[in-house]
Amino acid sequence: SHVFQLRSKCFCCSLNALFVLIFRSMKRCVLFGFLCAFVTCFLCGWQRSVQNPTFYPGRVNVTILLWYWPFGRSLSLKGDVCWDLYQIPSCKLVDQQSYFPTANVVVFHNKELVQGHQKLPVTLSRPPAQRWAWMSLESSAHNGNLQKFANIFNMTISYRRDADVPVPYGELLPVEREEQLAEDNFMNKSSLVCWVVSNYRSHYKRSQVYKELKAIVPVKVYGRWTKTPLSSEDLLPTISRCYFYLSFENSVAKDYITEKLWKNAYQGGAVPIVLGPPKRDYEAVAPPHSFIHIDEFSTAKELGTHLQQLTKDKKRYAEYFDWKKHWKVKVYTDWRERLCKICLMYNNLPQHKVYSDLQSWAVSLNNT
Ligand SMILES: *[C@@H]1O[C@H](CO)[C@@H](O)[C@H](O)[C@H]1NC(C)=O
Ligand SMILES: *[C@@H]1O[C@H](CO)[C@@H](O)[C@H](O)[C@H]1NC(C)=O
Ligand SMILES: *[C@@H]1O[C@H](CO)[C@@H](O)[C@H](O)[C@H]1NC(C)=O
């Protein structure tokens, strides 16, 4: 909408200039030229006010109340945040619990609820049209037992595509104009396979695969768990020096594809080797021919050999970056953006919905 605004501004300005020119060259009514200019200016101002709903007082706002901040880390909600930061109109984001009686949606982040650090306001009388939203970005294995939340929530906010408000860790956006790829951006490599891991547990599936792979090909490991921790500034430059990056999720769950793919691999500029949900989940959201799925190989040896072959064939390796001509990656990190997104979906939410068994929904695998 920024672009749109800029375009309409340019359009108005040129129109303006045109009027002034025409009437000046006719050496007649200069005053009339200015009058026209004034009218176009007025129209432009009006158009902007329609686009920016804060100039549009009658508009009804959707009020989203965040009952407490995820992980106790609060962010500023000053001004009209959804509009100012994300150009999402008519969306009032608040975190004062006193808004409860008028809030359209009340949002509860799962972790604090499940751990008992926060409680649902069950003693307050719940306005009939108000929706309570359950929010989590963790996989079902790390959500705890949700059985006690039966018949409470009206909507879900999750990375899952079948959530009422899907909030993925990242997504693709089309690039405006086809881009020429500068090959040296992704061809200056010094390591074959890299992995950044902060939380190593030997029972994780990913640790098994890592051990097997490392016996076949060199794997450079960084992160809190190792002797070579990596600062956040060094993360992407380090990954960019690797042909392949292990985008291994901590658990295998439907649609659970995190910043390990979107940020580390795609923004770092290495080809991701993914371990997580089935290949079709990746194909539904990731660029075509952009990743290597672990399931395509029956042994680590097979995978290792394939990787070595790819690095020897520059053309085939470069094909893994062709998607960058058409797509760019957007990574989501700000809770405010996820919450503002509720307003975009608000009018399409079902009139009445209750999650009678949230636990089953959270662990279900096949209801996309
Ligand atoms: C909606 O919110 C905006 C920004 O906070 C405010 O200016 C406007 O008056 C609100 N509209 C209504 C109807 O409350
Ligand atoms: C490749 O990376 C090295 C750092 O290891 C750097 O010195 C060199 O300039 C890079 N080459 C290109 C073409 O970017
Ligand atoms: C939300 O869930 C509650 C509790 O089950 C229910 O009473 C209420 O009707 C639901 N509201 C909507 C808008 O679905």
**Closest C-alpha residue for ligand 2 atom 6:** 188
Q: What is the DSSP letter of 217?
A: S
Q: pTM of the entire structure?
A: 0.82
For residue 314, what pLDDT band results from cuts at 50, 70 and 90?
very high
Q: Quick: pLDDT tens for 91-118.
A: 999 999 999 999 999 999 999 999 999 9
Q: Active-site residue 138, yes or no? A: yes
Nearest ligand atom owner, CA of 183: 2
- Ligand 2 within 6 A of CB of 188: yes
- Evaluate if residue 283 carries a pLDDT over 80: yes
Q: Name the token pair of 347.
A: 């009018």
**Of all protein residues, whose CA lies closest to atom 7 belonging to ligand 1?**
54
Mean pLDDT of the chain: 88
- pLDDT tier at 226 (50, 70, 90 boundaries)? confident
Which amino acid belongs to residue 53? P
- CA 19/CA 33 separation, integer angstroms: 6
Q: Which atom of ligand 3 is nearest to the CA of 129?
A: 13
Q: pLDDT digit string (tens) for 111-158?
A: 999 999 999 999 999 999 999 999 999 999 999 999 999 999 999 999
Residue 178, ligand 2, Cβ within 6 A: no
Q: How confident is the model at residue 335 (pLDDT cuts 50, 70, 90)?
A: very high
Give the tens place of pLDDT for each residue, 19-47: 777 766 666 556 666 676 666 656 655 55
CB of 79 closer than 6 A to ligand 1? no
Structure tokens at 34: 């200015």
Fold assignment, 172-331 = Rossmann fold (3.40.50)
Where do the domains of the chain lie? 2-51, 62-167+335-362, 172-331
* Ligand 3 center–CA 127 separation, angstroms: 9
d(CA 72, CA 362): 23
Name the residue of 52, 61, 88, 90 to mutate for ligand 1: max ligand atoms within 8 A of Cβ: 61
Q: Are 264 and 278 in contact (CB under 8 A)?
A: no
Whether residue 40 contacts residue 48, with contact meaning beta carbons closer than 8 Å, is answered with no
Catalytic pick among 112, 138, 179, 212: 138
Cα 44 to averaged position of ligand 1 atoms, centre (Å): 22
